[in-house]
Chains A and B, each alone.
Chain A
Amino acid sequence: MEPHRTGRNEPKSRILEPGRTLGSYLILRTLSVSPRSTVHMAQDLALDRPVALKSAPRGAASVVNEARILARLNHPHIVTLHALWPQPQALVLEYLVGETLKARQERGDPVSADALRAWMIDSAAALEAIHGQGLAHGALHADSLFLNAEGVIKLLDFRQSDLGDAPATAADDLRAMGRLMGELAAGQTDAALTDIARQAAQGRFANARALRLALAMPAHRIATTTQTPSPVTRQGLSPRMAADDCPAPSINPMVPVFDARPGWAQPGHWRKALLGLILICSAFIMAMDWLPAWQPAHHTAAPVPAVAAAPPPASRKAPRTHHPAHTTAAVRPSATPTTTEAYAALARAWGD
């Protein structure tokens, strides 16, 4: 069945097919078709270079999401985004020559342990860059790791999250990478790599950097280590890692903070927002109760003006039992000082 199915009333202009042009991009052929995306090879006639056009059925919002993720990343092991074509929505990506690790795995060619370790180091470096931006890949598997003609790993196909999906986390990526390493290392004699894969699948690595350093350690040191090899010395690293040729995550100052965008908050941030709301409400309630300035307006209004000449209250009597001192705010002689103060306060508040 045609996965990139269109409706009967789908306008022809929305369909990407070989021979059609999108601006300066001339679509040459279809590279891959999957239920979630279709990738075409195209030629950028303006810049005279090949590009890959990736589109989703009916221009799903996931294309925009993936474009926003890729736009924040600039890493040698992550596929480069050239542009986002608006209508129909398509990602203009760098054109890669090679195959995915899944295709290579299905082809059955033997892979040396050193090559596999180098691929995983590159993948971990790419994950480190992604996580450094507060992002996560979310769909790491053998089909999303592309091995180009130069033997360099490129990370593809970020998760196209649907509405309602829980956002992927860095821990999910690390566990997925552990499972992937376990699949690829099946049949290998490198026990250390298998052990790292098992630990990664169990979530033993705190971050991608720890995983990358563990992969970069010599095999004899890994074999004797049962825990995460966090205290790694520079002498224990391979020459490649000692040179630290894995660049740090790039930060584009022109792009706003990722979790400040609506709908892109990291998990757990709503807790901080709730805690802040509670603190603000508590402070407001305490201020209402403690600050006299927050009393209702009629409390701070002008007191009742005194009457110039009150009639003599000679005939006034107490409601039930007559009290002799009723012409002033009198108190009992036996009243305690506290009661006296309280009655004085009442006289000030209610009396003349």
Chain B
Amino acid sequence: MRHWRALGAISLGLLSGCVRLPPPPGQCTVATAWSTAYARQRILAPLAPQQIRIIHYSVFAHPARGPLCGTITLHKRLSVMRGPGDLHIAEVRDFYHGDVLVAVHTARIGAQVSGSGRYTADVTLPIPGNAPLGRYTVVSLLYARWGNGPPTRLASSRTHFQVIR
């Protein structure tokens, strides 16, 4: 009867999710990051034409630790006041592993940030199965350009997360 008890314990462990089989190497690297658009949570007062002011911009990773083949979600918050006009806003996101720039992502969000307000957005980052372990830094930069004018850096934010086995 002892082996049946052990079998029952193993089955309960499997059912409860206590036992997680290690992922096969290189089997979960096909996914790409998926980002939601900025959604306005609150409307703020508009500014005069050709004017823009960033009140708050932050990016933070949740959870702070992610396993290989898992996911990390970047939560972005942006509070902006802007005036009417042809405004181009670009969000450049740099990923550093240690001091090595490993990935760059650029997105145009001018159409999403169409008016003054408080915005939130999420980005889901799949962690490849062969990603180097350790601490990663995400630097997110906001650039704006009115019409064909020169780009101006509006704000930046930084967050960290750790890739574990």
Residues of A within 8 A of B (CB): 271, 274-275, 277-278, 281-282, 285-286, 289-290, 292, 295-296, 298-313, 315-316, 318-321, 323, 325-332, 335, 338-339, 341-343, 345-352
Interface stretch among B38-46, B48-56, B79-87, B92-100?
B92-100
Alpha-carbon gap, A352 to B103, bound state (A): 8
A289 to chain B: closest CB distance in Å?
Answer: 5
In the complex, the chain A residue whose C-beta lies closest to that of B106 is A310
Q: Which bucket holds chain B's interface residue count?
A: 35 or more
Q: Using Cβ atoms and an 8 Å threshold, which residues of chain B touch A342? A: 128, 130-132
Tell which of B34, B93, B96, B139 touches A301, judged by Cβ atoms closer than 8 Å. B34
Tell which of A304, A316, A330, A348 touches B34, judged by Cβ atoms closer than 8 Å. A304
Given contacts A274-B7, A342-B128, A350-B33, contact A318 B99 (CB under 8 A): yes
Interface SS, A side: loop
Alpha-carbon gap, A304 to B106, bound state (A): 9
Q: Using Cβ atoms and an 8 Å threshold, which residues of chain B touch A347? A: 102-104
Tell which of A298, A338, A350 touches B105, judged by Cβ atoms closer than 8 Å. A350
Contact (Cβ within 8 A) A349 B33: yes
Contact (Cβ within 8 A) B92 A351: no
Residues of B within 8 A of A (CB): 4, 7-8, 10-11, 14-15, 19-24, 27-35, 71, 88, 90, 92-97, 99-108, 124-128, 130-132, 137, 139, 141, 143, 145, 151, 153, 158
Alpha-carbon gap, A274 to B7, bound state (A): 9
Alpha-carbon gap, A308 to B141, bound state (A): 17
Tell which of B23, B92, B158 touches A313, judged by Cβ atoms closer than 8 Å. B92
Q: Using Cβ atoms and an 8 Å threshold, which residues of chain A touch B126? A: 295, 299, 349
In the complex, the chain A residue whose C-beta lies closest to that of B133 is A342
Contact (Cβ within 8 A) B34 A281: no
In the complex, the chain B residue whose C-beta lies closest to that of A302 is B34
Contact (Cβ within 8 A) A290 B24: yes
What are 8 A-B contacts defined by CB distance under 8 Å?
A277-B11, A304-B34, A310-B106, A330-B100, A341-B130, A346-B103, A347-B102, A349-B128
Tell which of A282, A296, A310 touches B14, judged by Cβ atoms closer than 8 Å. A282
Q: Using Cβ atoms and an 8 Å threshold, which residues of chain B touch A310? A: 90, 92, 106, 108
Contact (Cβ within 8 A) A343 B100: yes
Q: Using Cβ atoms and an 8 Å threshold, which residues of chain A touch B71? A: 296, 298-299
Contact (Cβ within 8 A) A349 B103: yes
Given contacts A278-B14, A311-B151, A345-B131, contact A352 B27 (CB under 8 A): no
Q: Using Cβ atoms and an 8 Å threshold, which residues of chain A touch B153? A: 315
